[in-house]
Structure 1
Amino acid sequence: MNGNAATLTFLADPHVLTFADQCAGRIRLDRPKALHSLDLGMVRQMTQALLDWRSDDDVRIVMIDHAGGRGFCAGGDVVSIAKDTPKGGTLGRDFFFEEYRLNHLMYTYPKPGVVFMDGIVMGGGVGIACPCRYRVVTERTVFAMPETTIGLFPDVGGGRYLSRLRGRSAQYLALTSARLDGADCIALGLANFYLPSDALDAVKAEIAASPEKAESILAGAAVPPPPARIVERLPTIDHLFASDDFDVVLAALEADGGEWATDTLAALHKRSPTACKVSLRMLVESPRQLHFVDEMRMEYAIMARMHRAPDFAEGVRALLIDKTGDPRWSPPTAAEVTPAMVDAYFEPLPPAEAWTPLPAYR
């Protein structure tokens, strides 16, 4: 972790391509075997490119996509972090610190961004997609914040993006890790253009040549999305996820007894109870953060503790390493997760350990 990241030139990372294309700066994720999951080297190269382009008058827009495969970006490389942390390593601390700097840089960037969310968009992928002015989805988009399945919470600015969604959809998405398709993303406001995937290459070429026409180019290529499946479910979600108390949510689902509520309850029982309670609390606290820098500072304090907690390593083991699907959470039930335990995650870090934005953005 380096407080002078804005002045450093990092070594090129083979898993992300950054290059100029006519009037556009292009960021292309290229790690298909890992669904383009972000590692520290990728984060650093993306940061360096954005810093370089910020003062480059020839770059008037930034476009983000992926090189191939079925994922745009499946998140951060949590397996490497989970393996490093028990050994006393600092990979988790360094990765989240610098990833959040990238998220903040993108959120405050002076030039417009276009992201092509074609394929799987999860976790860290959401963090580099949502700051963009133009967010394109396709018939192949699968969007989710699945952090509670591995003992974490929807970070990378998730508190800011989710808490501004209509009704109680944020609470539903954060707790259940529910997957949205492109039409759902349009309906909830997580994306603003729905394009056929076979139109993307031509659109990218047009935008690179005429970035000032990006919005009209996207609007001209967009097609009406199919009916959004989540829309008919929203009244039920608003009712059953009305409480900010996870125990009350569980009780409401159990009392409902319907098929959807029963299936949702079963899914929640597989999530980390601590992560679920922290996630709900974050969605209460996030709207109180005046600026995005405050959101990032709060999320980093939570993550600095959570990625070292037992549930993270256990969740990654069960879901991504052994793939047994049998996490043993600690504590194992929601009733055993006390308010004091949740409060502890939200305590500010000591100044020497706290998150800070890149020096130019302080």
Structure 2
Amino acid sequence: MKVDFGGAGDILFEQVGRAGIVTLSRPASLNAINHGMVSALARALSAWEADTAIERVIIRGEGRAFSAGGDILDVYRAGLEGEASPDFFADEYRLNAAIARFPKPYIALIDGIVMGGGVGVSFHGSHRVMTENAVFAMPEVGIGFFPDVGGSHLLSRLPGELGMYLALTGNRIRRGDACAAGLATHSVDAGNLSALTEALCETDNVDGTLSLFAVAPEPELNEGIRHAIARHFSFESLTEILDSLSGDQDDWAHQTLATIEKRSPTSLCVAFRQVRAGAMLEMDECMTMEFRILNRMLAGHDFYEGIRAVLVEKGSTPRWQPETLGEISEEYINSYFAPLPEGELKL
């Protein structure tokens, strides 16, 4: 039975058996999350939380991606005209927090790319199911932004400093590494997703049903690289991490350092601080912190420069300001985390 919570066809809702099913339905845009989709999903979760006929929620993507991120080009255009608004992000962050506290099983079936805003509507739920096609990344430092949508909560809790590595590089991982880190709770083969979805709509036992379909993938990163990540990214300052990578003669360390050095210096400093801070914060506190950062990013330079270089004039080299880490003071980074004079995010 189809249900209408809005979203202008970009996000679809239906009730099947005991489940509310959400389908991200913008395949031509890799299911990029827009404001209408955020509002519609928030309405659906509010209604389904109170509906005793809905015992669980399943979210999936149409086409070859789960969701490649947030639809931020409108934010970019508004910013160029001096009219940047945090409203989309405020509603998105409220949704991320609502998913984290949702009292019923929330099962994300992740087949294909999942990044940025797509992570926000999937990985805060109780069950994160990845297929062999799934690719996870938080690549925001490459566009002068930061790992938001709850990235400070999610990444800070990954073992072996994997979260800090992902935040500072923006690199991708697949299901084997995601399962090993607890980022994904289950792995299934893509060919079984339809049968799994049908079973999840009828079963008395969500965990048992997922276990029946689950496979056990091997981590893609070898043991040596996992140890290197844990060693290099464990330091208590960004400078120490970079010095550690620089002092290692291994090719992997050199490549990783080269990747980081292409990122926005401001974004790197903010991402390092937020991941370290996030480990000590609850989800709602993380969203409050991220909204503070977001407002400063919208008022800055690198976010718009990164989108111009990466998404608008694809393939050009961004010109970051400040250009180097040495130009960035502690006071400057502190300003990104300071309370908002105009009021904090209301959750």
The TM tier, using the shorter chain, reads: over 0.9
Partner residue of 1:117 out of 94, 110, 122 = 110
Contact kept, 8 Å, 2:143 with 2:307, in 1: the verdict is yes
In 2, Cα distance between equivalents of 1:79 and 1:244: 35
1:355 aligns with 2:345: yes
Q: 291-300 or 181-190: which moved more?
A: 291-300
Q: Which amino acid aligns with 1:354?
A: E
SS at match of 1:189: coil
Give the match for residue 6 of structure 1.
none
Give the match for residue 346 of structure 1.
337
In 2, Cα distance between equivalents of 1:241 and 1:287: 15
Q: Which amino acid aligns with 1:208?
A: C
Partner residue of 1:99 out of 89, 92, 97 = 92
Give the match for residue 4 of structure 1.
none
Deviation at 1:324, TM superposition (A): 2.2
Contact kept, 8 Å, 1:184 with 1:230, in 2: the verdict is no
Give the match for residue 277 of structure 2.
285
Give the match for residue 183 of structure 2.
190
SS at match of 1:288: coil
In 1, Cα distance between equivalents of 2:151 and 2:186: 20
Partner residue of 1:296 out of 282, 287, 291 = 287
In 2, Cα distance between equivalents of 1:219 and 1:161: 23
Q: Which amino acid aligns with 2:320?
A: W
1:162-200 Cα distance to aligned partner (Å, 9 max, x none): 111112212111000110001110011100111000000
Partner residue of 1:32 out of 22, 27, 35 = 27
Matched residues, percent identical? 38
In 2, Cα distance between equivalents of 1:252 and 1:121: 30
Partner residue of 1:328 out of 319, 325, 331 = 319
In 2, Cα distance between equivalents of 1:330 and 1:246: 18
Give the match for residue 275 of structure 1.
267
In 2, Cα distance between equivalents of 1:93 and 1:346: 16
Deviation at 1:230, TM superposition (A): 5.2
Q: Which amino acid aligns with 1:85?
A: G
1:224 aligns with 2:216: yes
1:42 aligns with 2:37: yes
TM-score by length of 1: 0.92
SS at match of 2:41: helix
Partner residue of 1:83 out of 74, 77, 81 = 77
Deviation at 1:145, TM superposition (A): 0.6
In 1, Cα distance between equivalents of 2:27 and 2:299: 28
Contact kept, 8 Å, 1:166 with 1:188, in 2: the verdict is yes
Give the match for residue 308 of structure 1.
299
Deviation at 1:81, TM superposition (A): 1.1
SS at match of 1:26: strand
In 2, Cα distance between equivalents of 1:227 and 1:315: 32
Contact kept, 8 Å, 2:310 with 2:316, in 1: the verdict is yes
1:11-47 Cα distance to aligned partner (Å, 9 max, x none): 4422100121121111110111111110100100111
Contact kept, 8 Å, 2:5 with 2:13, in 1: the verdict is no
Give the match for residue 3 of structure 1.
none
SS at match of 2:159: coil
Q: Which runs of 5+ in 2 are unaligned?
A: none
In 2, Cα distance between equivalents of 1:227 and 1:281: 28
1:160 aligns with 2:150: no
In 1, Cα distance between equivalents of 2:135 and 2:169: 15
In 2, Cα distance between equivalents of 1:280 and 1:134: 27
1:229-279 Cα distance to aligned partner (Å, 9 max, x none): 254412111222222322222222121132111111111111001100111
TM-score by length of 2: 0.95
Deviation at 1:10, TM superposition (A): 6.9
Q: Which amino acid aligns with 1:340?
A: E
In 2, Cα distance between equivalents of 1:77 and 1:201: 28
Deviation at 1:308, TM superposition (A): 2.7
Partner residue of 2:207 out of 215, 229, 254 = 215
Partner residue of 1:62 out of 54, 57, 62 = 57
In 2, Cα distance between equivalents of 1:24 and 1:95: 28
Deviation at 1:89, TM superposition (A): 2.6
Contact kept, 8 Å, 1:152 with 1:307, in 2: the verdict is no
Aligned residue-pair number: 344
Partner residue of 1:74 out of 68, 86, 93 = 68
Contact kept, 8 Å, 2:5 with 2:44, in 1: the verdict is no
1:242 aligns with 2:237: no
